[in-house]
Structure 1
Amino acid sequence: MSRIFISGSSTGLGMMAADLLAAQDHEIVLHARNAARAEAARKELPQAKAVVVGDLETIEGAKNVAAQVNALGRFDAVMHNAAVGYREGHRLTADGLPHVFAINTLSAYILTALIRRPKRLVYLSSGMHRHAHANLDDILWKQRHWNGSTAYAESKLHDAMLAFAIARRWPGVFSNALEPGWVPTRMGGPGAPDDMSQAHLTQTWLVAGEDPKADVTGHYFYHLQRMEPNAEARDEALQDRLVAICAEISGIALEA
């Protein structure tokens, strides 16, 4: 049995993964943005050990979520699932950051940096990252005209970059990224064409720790198969620069 924390798990793929992992007798801690979502998550998955409540949109919110997770003890695995989608308008958070970047990129970095180091880390990316550029010179969209689809794709590239940066820096941790497919969740929309029944299997396999074939690091997956990501995700200089940017913005250093 593994102890697993899943961010953004009150609905959608996060809840689907949690439900499957709980059925496999793993101890699951969920995360919800607010109290109403937390209550709904408890009803949806009563066997969950706990539900951490906090909005990852702000730096303080993400720090608070990490503190709540740490108060529950050390986890074997953390799944970075929380995200907003590609149809988002341009909105700044209380920290003055584009909220797509704040939730999809920066909160994943903050949770990685502050939650006590687990054995396994899994970051949900997207097939849309393949056609994106990291655009680290304008990561906060101060110079470009906003495009929600591009902002989302960039953030999912950042998540893969972060997974691989961690794989390099923390050799004792299995750190991987994946794309679940374009599936008809609330984020994906009703017209999404991919198989919903497959969308949560890879991440559950990677975090469960029951199959020796999942004892790998620095890889990218789609439907349980390794795939090569966008080449920029493999660029170590870009990875290090992304980590440095996130550390500067958040004021939180990533432990060596």
Structure 2
Amino acid sequence: MSRVFITGSSTGLGLMTAELLASQGHKVVIHARNANRAEDAARSLPEAEAVVIGDLETIAGSTSVAAQVNALGRFDAVIHNAAVGYREGHRVTSDGLPHVFAVNTLSAYLLTALIERPKRLVYLSSGMHHHVDANLDDILWKTRRWSGSSAYAESKLHDTMLAFAVARRWKDVLSNALEPGWVPTRMGGPGAPDDMDKAHVTQAWLAVNDNSDAHVTGKYFYHLKQMKPNRQAYDAVLQDRLLAICAEVSGVTLPA
């Protein structure tokens, strides 16, 4: 059985993924933004090994989460599920960053860099990433007029780029990305048309399954099937630029 850490797992797809893995006999550590959410999550999934608490909106918060995870020992897989949605207004964090970028892009980078390297990494993207540009020249939205949906879609492209950059650099890690579908979570909204029963299955499968279809790296999935992501996700030059931007903003470099 595997040991898995899942970010943003006090509610929604993250909690559903944790519940599925726990039901299969895997050890699961979940993550909540604050103590109240942690209490709710612990009640929802009492079999969880632990609940890590920290707000991924800040560099300090992400750094704290990574330290707490490392203190628990090594994990077989980390699922980067935490995100804010596509209807967000423009808000700047205490680090001076757009909060959509801070949570969706930078925290995934920081946790990847700071958590002791697992055997597998899984990054949640979105179908919205297919139709945007990475916009690395204005990743912090300093010159463009804010669009919550574009900021979200770009961040999900960044997550896919990060997954592929890690796959390229860390040959001993299986690193993949997926889209769960547009499902009726709190983020997706009640009118979302995709199948909720399938939305959490692929990330759990990629984290623990040993069949040949799941034992791959640098791939993109939708409902257990490989599919093509936005072509920019494959661009190694763009991947390296994204890593350099995240390193400059955070002061943390991805280990070689």
Which range, TM-score by smaller chain?
A: over 0.9
> For the residues of structure 1 that align with 2:6 and 2:162, how far apart are their CA atoms?
17
Corresponding position of 2:182: 182
> For the residues of structure 2 that align with 1:181 and 1:202, how far apart are their CA atoms?
11
Corresponding position of 1:23: 23
Task: For residue 157 of structure 2, give the secondary structure of its aligned residue in structure 1.
Answer: helix
Corresponding position of 1:249: 249
Corresponding position of 1:96: 96
Corresponding position of 1:235: 235
Corresponding position of 1:195: 195
> For the residues of structure 2 that align with 1:74 and 1:210, how far apart are their CA atoms?
19
Task: For residue 112 of structure 1, give the secondary structure of its aligned residue in structure 2.
Answer: helix
Are the aligned partners of 1:2 and 1:209 in contact in 2 as well (CA < 8 Å)?
Answer: no
Corresponding position of 2:152: 152
Letter in 2 for 1:172: D
Corresponding position of 2:66: 66
Corresponding position of 2:34: 34
Give the drift of 1:163: 0.1
Give the drift of 1:208: 1.2
> For the residues of structure 1 that align with 2:58 and 2:116, how far apart are their CA atoms?
20
> For the residues of structure 2 that align with 1:42 and 1:217, how far apart are their CA atoms?
32
> For the residues of structure 2 that align with 1:28 and 1:9, how far apart are their CA atoms?
10
Corresponding position of 1:122: 122
Are the aligned partners of 1:164 and 1:175 in contact in 2 as well (CA < 8 Å)?
Answer: yes
> For the residues of structure 2 that align with 1:66 and 1:197, how far apart are their CA atoms?
30
Are the aligned partners of 1:84 and 1:100 in contact in 2 as well (CA < 8 Å)?
Answer: yes
Corresponding position of 1:56: 56
Does residue 226 of the first structure (1) align with residue 234 of the second (2)? no
Corresponding position of 1:107: 107
- Which sections of structure 1, spanning at least 5 residues, go unmatched? none
- Which sections of structure 2, spanning at least 5 residues, go unmatched? none
Corresponding position of 1:161: 161
Give the drift of 1:124: 0.0
Corresponding position of 1:136: 136
Corresponding position of 1:87: 87
> For the residues of structure 2 that align with 1:79 and 1:56, how far apart are their CA atoms?
14
Out of 241-250 and 203-212, give the one that drifted further. 203-212
Give the drift of 1:73: 0.1
> For the residues of structure 1 that align with 2:228 and 2:212, how far apart are their CA atoms?
21
Are the aligned partners of 1:205 and 1:211 in contact in 2 as well (CA < 8 Å)?
Answer: no
> For the residues of structure 2 that align with 1:159 and 1:115, how far apart are their CA atoms?
17
> For the residues of structure 2 that align with 1:183 and 1:218, how far apart are their CA atoms?
25
Q: Deviations over 1:149-204 (max 9, x none)?
A: 00000000000000000000001100000000000000000000000000001000
Letter in 1 for 2:115: I
Are the aligned partners of 1:178 and 1:202 in contact in 2 as well (CA < 8 Å)?
Answer: yes
Report sequence identity in percent.
74
Corresponding position of 2:9: 9
Letter in 2 for 1:202: T
